[in-house]
Amino acid sequence: MSETLSNIVRSSDRVAVSAALQVEVIADFVCPFCFIGKRHLDEALKAVEGPYEVSWNPFQLNPEIPPEGMPFDIYLTKRFGSPANVEPVLEHLTEEGTASGIQFRFDRIRHVPNTLPVHQLMQHAAMAGADQSAIADHLMSAFFEDGINIGERGMLVDIAKAHGISAKETAEAIVSDRIRQIVATREAQVRSSGIASAPGFLINQRLLVVGAQPIDNMINAFDRAMFGEGSDSLASPALH
């Protein structure tokens, strides 16, 4: 798995930066647990005294969603069934989000997009040397806190522009056959490695942390990946 996932970075044409700590994030932008996991990662990284690098791998939580997206209420029904099943899930997520500095506003969400164009923007950001993590946070905040349809071209242009990516670059990236193929290849590599859910955090190509783990678990995983014994142990039962 380690070898396959390390190939993902190379296949993106992105120049690797030497760092003591490397975190490869596997996430989608309409996944609330990915948003929580990202915020936990941010906090855990504050404990890192040396250099670190964070990169993002594409993972579509709902690749079957049509290109035009789907109404949020229909999406929830398909995913969870009756409203009685949905309500406690959203309440739990709201509580978890508040503890992580996220104000989930599910009442504002009207539309769930197909996130392929979003991943294409993120791939372009990596190739252009933009801050992927800052863009990812902006995208997830826009969707979950403001109810913005991040699948719309105009919204992607506005968000990317705030991070130094021109409207022309964004417009070209989200329709580019080349970038779409890179994203598809990278996601296929992730899935072929046995990863079937998000978020995931591959640390120094050695240790895979699955799910939105508590901050202390993330810090412990950093220590194990950098200084712990063992060679290619990718997952610890204590971290699941």
pLDDT at 1 over 90: no
Task: Give the predicted TM-score (pTM) of the model.
Answer: 0.86
12 pLDDT exceeds 70?
A: no
CATH code, domain with 167: 3.40.30.10
Query: Could you tell me the residue range of the domain that residue 95 belongs to?
Result: 2-239
Indicate the average pLDDT of the chain: 88
Amino acid residing at 217? N
Q: Are 111 and 72 within 8 A, CB to CB? A: yes
User: What strand order describes the sheet that includes 52-58?
Assistant: 52-58, 21-27, 200-203, 207-210
- Cβ atoms of 112 and 30 within 8 Å: the answer is yes
Q: How many Å apart are CA 193 and CA 93, to the nearest integer?
A: 28
pLDDT computed for residue 224 by the predictor: 92
Give the residue ranges of DSSP H helices in 2-82.
Answer: 2-11, 32-45, 72-80
Pick the residue with more confidence: 197 or 165? Answer: 165
pLDDT band at 81 (very low <50, low <70, confident <90, very high): confident
- Banded pLDDT at 229 (limits 50, 70, 90): low
Q: What span, in angstroms and rounded, lies between the C-alpha atoms of 168 and 161?
A: 10
8 Å CB contact between 60 and 124: no
| Arithmetic mean of pLDDT, 24-42 | 98
3-state secondary structure of 157: helix
Q: Using an 8 Å Cβ cutoff, are 39 and 101 in contact?
A: yes
Under a CB-based contact definition with an 8 Å cutoff, are residues 170 and 121 in contact? Answer: yes
Cα radius of gyration (the chain): 17
The separation between CA 146 and the C-alpha centre of its own chain, rounded to angstroms, equals 18
Per-residue pLDDT of 145-195, as tens digits, reads: 999 999 999 999 999 999 999 999 999 999 999 999 999 999 999 999 889
Domain count, the chain: 1
Of the CA atoms within 13 Å of residue 180, those in its CB half-sphere come to 9
Per-residue pLDDT band for 79 (boundaries 50, 70, 90) equals confident
Give the Cα separation of 155 and 165 in Å (integer): 13
User: pLDDT tens, 47-56?
Assistant: 998 899 999 9
Cα 234–Cα 238–Cα 240 angle in degrees, nearest 5: 70
The confidence score (pLDDT) of residue 2 equals: 42
The C-alpha atoms of residue 198 and residue 61 are separated, in whole angstroms, by 7
